[in-house]
Amino acid sequence: MIDFGFGVELDTIEESDLPQMRAWRNDTRIWKWCRQSDLIPMAAHLRWFDGCKEKMYAIRNAGKLVGICGLTSIDTLARRAEFSLYIGPRYHRRGFARAALKTLFKHGFENLGLNLIWGETFDGNPALNLFKSLGMVEEGVRRDFYFKGGKLIDATLISIKWSEFDY
């Protein structure tokens, strides 16, 4: 388990976590902010889990699954990775996202040797304020980059460097 004392632990994703993960990903409160454009069938979810090459973690609080986060698109030469995060809807607004990102970023910088962690968020996502409060910087906007909710939407690119991360 990865625990830096921020209030959550990052743990391995167990097979028993998969039904809850899929239910969250198929919940409109989650997937409206994700790249997916349709519901995820269990067979596809299981294929993802079996072939997962990313560093994905269960977010646990007192042993209870509260969300998922991870590092994807890992480039060991350039020492960068994209972050991914979602918190189960019933656990929103309890500080788990902040705690998970602080833990994930510290792990990525200190244990994996990353220099930059980046991501993107859709126009209107209130999580952008959280990302900025953690020291992430807006790098630019991908205009009309995704099709969601019957329209083209912008995506804001964000990043944080190891030297900018405040533990």
Which of 125, 121, 158, 122 has its CA nearest to residue 140? Answer: 158
Query: What is the per-residue pLDDT across 80-133, written as a single tens digit (0 to 9) for each?
Result: 999 999 999 999 999 999 999 999 999 999 999 999 999 999 988 999 999 999
Give the pair of three-digit tokens for residue 25: 């990903």
Give the predicted TM-score (pTM) of the model.
0.92
Query: Phi/psi of residue 157, each to 5°?
Result: -85, 135
For the chain, what is the total number of helices (H) and then of strands (E)?
5, 7
Locate tokens 């959550």: which residue? Answer: 8
